[in-house]
Amino acid sequence: MQVMNADWTTTEETIAQKAFDTAYKREIGSLMAAVRHQVGSLQEIDDMWRLHDFLSVKRHEVDGRYDYRLPMLVFVFAGLVKDGWLSIEELEGLNADKIAKIAALARM
Cα separation, 83 vs 52, whole angstroms:
23
Question: What is the three-class DSSP state of 93?
Answer: coil
> Would you kindly state where each structural domain of the chain is located, as residue ranges?
10-107
pTM for the predicted model, two decimal places? 0.87
Angle between helices 45-65 and 73-82 (to 10 degrees): 140
Indicate the pLDDT class of residue 2, thresholds 50, 70 and 90. Answer: very low
pLDDT tens for 82-94 read: 999 999 999 999 9
Convert the pLDDT of each residue in 62-76 to its tens digit.
999 999 999 999 999
Question: pLDDT digit string (tens) for 6-61?
Answer: 589 999 999 999 999 999 999 999 999 999 999 999 999 999 999 999 999 999 99
Buried-exposed string 1-39: b where 16+ CB fall within 10 A, e elsewhere: eeebeeebeeebeebbeebbeebbeebeeebeeeeeeee
Burial status of residue 94 (CB atoms within 10 A of its CB: 0-12, 13-18, 19 or more) = buried
